[in-house]
Amino acid sequence: MKNPAEPVGAPPQPEVIRGEVEHLAHDHVLVENERYVALTAWAGQIPNALYEIGRLRELAFRETERGTGKRLDLDQFDLYYLHVLIWSKERREIVGACRIGQVDIVLKRYGRDGLYTGRLFAYSPAFVRDEGPTLEISKAFVRGEYRRQVVPISLLCRGIGEFISRNPHYRNLIGLISHRRPILNGSKKSKVHGVSGVPVHADGEGAPGSLRLGGTIEENPVLAFVDLTEARTGSRYCVGKAGSERFIEYYQPKRDRAA
């Protein structure tokens, strides 16, 4: 952050956030265990909780010097991306979150500039359109006091996987890698693109230093593209045996016809 950072926004009243999140219908639940639940919501359904997500995002990203320097880390994409949030049942608070952009829908409505990655990378809309239905994952974080626990980040990943298994026509993931434990993990058909938009192979060929998909990113973020239809990749993202089977069954008839 080049300019002096503004103080992070004050937290809203906990009761207001609890009212919004805990009154979401059951069909918003992706996965849960005894202590946490992963839910989906649109901006209009959680206006105060979204404010808190923006506040917690800014706090989390400032710890790695990637904060916006503003009171909140919120932008126009938050208005029409689907939010996945992790909720603590015990403490009744937001633990972490990410957002999902349904690329096919976003491109139709807003064009490439309607995508978060489309504003950061100089790729053409055909880059993702030609690859088939794609989900963009961005702004993933877990708040500091939960970061040493495995379950919250695992549940966030499982929440994304459950969304994929319920919507198996989405065959690709796209997003940024900018930290040591990226949400997007590699596959043989995955691609990484540097800030310049020059493709980098998944094995790290052409990447600066030790950069590789799923590896450590030391400088600028890069664009990762993951093909979920590759053997074992989709099943790794989907939740449980049932979710994995739904995803595999969706694509198996297509492969059989192609053969």
Question: Taking the mean position of all CA atoms in its chain, how far away is CA 113?
Answer: 18
Q: Is residue 7 part of a domain?
A: no
pLDDT at 185 over 80: no
Q: What is the CATH number for 175?
A: 3.40.630.30
Residue 116 lies in domain: 14-258
Q: Is residue 20 part of a domain?
A: yes
Total tally of structural domains belonging to the chain? 1
What is the value of pTM for the model shown? 0.81
Distance of alpha carbon 164 from alpha carbon 20, whole angstroms:
25
pLDDT at 179 over 70: no
Q: Is residue 54 part of a domain?
A: yes
Percent above pLDDT 90 for the chain: 51
Closest CA to 160 of 67, 96, 248: 96
Kindly state the average pLDDT of the residues 124-153. Answer: 88
Instruction: Classify strands 222-227 and 82-88 as parallel, antiparallel or unpaired.
Output: unpaired
pLDDT tens-digit readout, 97-123 = 999 999 999 999 999 899 998 888 777
Q: Is residue 175 part of a domain?
A: yes
